[in-house]
Amino acid sequence: MQIREKMERAAVLMANRNIRNPAGRSAERLDHEELFHRLLTLERKRSDRTGEPFLLVLIHCEALIRRGAEQSIGDIGMALAASVRVTDVTGWHRNRSIIGFIFTSFNGAGRTEVQSAISSKILRILSKTLHASEVGHVKVSFHFYPQDGESGQARTNDSPIPGSEDLAGNFSRKRMR
């Protein structure tokens, strides 16, 4: 990572300490949408330059907004942000309705293993944070970058989240358009 990119990332991470969620409580390590997109751009450039992959996970909460459960979205964001490594990036991907996570290191694990582990963690957190009836209204998508052996193309994995059918029959995944 170039020095300028490191400095920008450090400044963004320090700025996160003062960000508020929709409910007005401190949402530690959740970037504003603009900052999150800037870090996503930097990560994509780093990946293009080094060939090292990263994973973008999006938690789609639009259905919760339509149901009037904005408080639940803030709770999801705080719980998920508290559960990831400090080196991972968390933030609002779109209009405080889609929460994004950028995972930059897989520690030697394959993409299937990474997706399975993250899916399990998300499902555990959602089941603790939301009512069972609300879990089915949250969609999760996984976007690996770059695609195996290529740069400049993201790959979306549409395999089901293990165990989700036990918690809520319609917990589903949505492909990013």
Q: Would you say residue 156 has pLDDT above 50?
A: no
Q: Is residue 172 part of a domain?
A: no
pLDDT at position 9: 60
Q: Residue 104: which domain range?
A: 3-167
CA–CA separation, 157 vs 174, rounded Å? Answer: 10
Which of 72, 40, 34, 85 is CA-nearest to residue 58? 40
Q: Is residue 176 part of a domain?
A: no
pLDDT at position 1: 53
Encode pLDDT of 14-38 as tens digits: 544 444 334 443 445 678 899 999 9
Which of 143, 133, 142 is CA-nearest to residue 170? 133
Q: Is residue 71 part of a domain?
A: yes
pLDDT at position 119: 93
Q: Is residue 137 part of a domain?
A: yes
**Rounded to 5 degrees, what are φ and ψ at 5?**
-65, -40
Instruction: For residue 56, list its beta bridge partners.
Output: 102, 143
Encode pLDDT of 57-97 as tens digits: 999 998 888 887 777 888 888 888 888 888 889 998 987 88
Encode pLDDT of 162-175 as tens digits: 343 433 333 333 33
- Which DSSP string corresponds to 121-170? HHHHHHHHHS-HHHHTT-EEEEEEES-TT-SS--EEE-PPPTTHHHH-TT
Q: Is residue 175 part of a domain?
A: no
Confidence of residue 101 (pLDDT cuts 50, 70, 90): very high
- Domain count of the chain? 1
Q: Is residue 129 part of a domain?
A: yes
**Rounded to 5 degrees, what are φ and ψ at 138?**
-100, 130
Q: Is residue 145 part of a domain?
A: yes
Q: Is residue 174 part of a domain?
A: no
> In this structure, what CATH number is given to the domain that contains residue 33?
3.30.70.270
pTM of the model: 0.70
